[in-house]
Amino acid sequence: MPLKVIIARDFEHLSDIAAQIIKQTIIQTFEAKEEFVLGLATGNSPTRVYKHLARAANDGEFDSSRIRSFNLDEYVGLPGDNVQQRVLHPESYCYFMIQEFFGLLQRKFIETCVPYGCMIDQQVLAKELHAYPDDWHAVGTDAGKSILIHDNPTSHYLGWVREEILEGYERKIEAAGGVDLQIIGVGGRGHVAFHESGIPFAGSRVMLVKLDENTIANAVMDGHFSCEAESPHYAVSMGAELVYRARTLVLLANGERKVRPVTESLVDDPTPEIPISYGQLYARGPGNLVYVVDTIAGRELLAAASRLEQKGITIENLS
C-alpha cells in the first residue's frame, strides 16, 4: 500500500492527528473482530497521543476493555535486587506505561505486555556471555549489537533467555493474532525501539541487544540515570522485522533531532544503518504505514516531495 506522510503544525497537532488515526482504526477493526491488538512505544513522542486515546476511551468512543497491548522494548539491567524492584523502577518502561497511559484508563485493557527484560539479571547475563562464548555471536556493523544465542546452548541461563524471554514474547504476539496497529517513534540515528543502527533486518524479531555506548551516554545525559554504571547496558526489543509485521504502523517524529533520520528513511534506499527505512519495503506489501511529523522533522521531506512522489510516497501538509 502507498506510504503516506502527514505534516502537522507542532507536537500538539501531531498528537491529535495520530490519535484520531489510531482511534478510527480501533473502531473500524472492532466491526470485524472482538479484540484489538495495539503495539505501544515509550519516549516523549507518544505521550500526548496516549492522553488523547485515554480520554476518548473514558468518554466511551471505543471500548478499551477489548484491547490487548504489546510494548516494543524494555531495559535489562535496571537498578534493583529483584524483578519486582526492576519493574517498578521509575525508568522501567512498565512504569512509564502505567504513568502515561494504563493508569489513565477507567476500563483496563484485556492484557498489557512488555518485553521481559526485567526478568534478566544483567550481572548473571554478562557472566554467562563471558563464560560461554561459543553459545552466541553478535551481529551489527555499529557499536549496538544484537546478541544471537545459538540453538541448544551449553549455558542453561542463555537457553532460558532465548526460549522464554525472546521467543516467548514473540509466541505471545503470534497467539494474539499479531499486532493490528503499532505506534513507533524515531531514534536520533533512525532506530526503532532498541533495534540499533547497523543491526540487520533479517531475523530481527525479538532481540537481546547490547546497547550502543552512545545510547547509554544519552540516557545519562538526559537525566534518566546518574552514571553509566547505573544505566542498563542491554535491552530486550522487538526488531524491525517484527515491528513491521503489524497491519498498520503510525510513526511519530518531531523536532530538529529527527530531521535527518526521517528524511534518510524515505529519500534514500532502505539500509540497516537507518532501521526505520525498512518501512519502504513494508509499504510495498499489504501493510499501511503513516508518518505523522511536525513541520521541523518533515521540512526536508517537503523539499523532496517530487522525488518521494516518484517512489509512491504521498505527502499531506496540514501545517
The total number of structural domains that make up the chain: 1
Nearest to 148 by CA among 190, 216, 199, 78: 199
C-alpha triplet 94, 171, 29: angle, nearest 5°: 75
pLDDT band at 227, cuts 50/70/90? confident
The predicted pLDDT at position 226 comes to: 87
CA distances from 167 to 42, 52, 126, 179, 228 (A): 22, 33, 20, 16, 29
Give 30-64 pLDDT, tens digit per residue: 999 999 999 999 999 999 999 999 999 999 999 99
What amino acid occupies position 17?
I
Query: What stretches of 2-70 show up as alpha helix (H) in DSSP?
Result: 11-30, 47-58
Nearest to 157 by CA among 194, 125, 110: 125
- What is the pTM for the complete model shown? 0.95
CB-based burial label for 66 (10 Å; 0-12, 13-18, 19+): middle
* Chain centroid, CA 313 distance in Å: 22
Quick check: 80 pLDDT over 80? yes
User: Which domain range does residue 260 map to?
Assistant: 3-317
Q: Looking up cell 511519530, which residue turns up?
A: 252
Cα–Cα distance between 192 and 180 in angstroms, integer?
A: 18
The predicted pLDDT at position 71 comes to: 98
Give 83-127 pLDDT, tens digit per residue: 999 999 999 999 999 999 999 999 999 999 999 999 999 999 999
Domain of 157, CATH number, reads 3.40.50.1360
Residues in the chain: 319
The predicted pLDDT at position 47 comes to: 97
Show the cell assigned to 100. 502515561
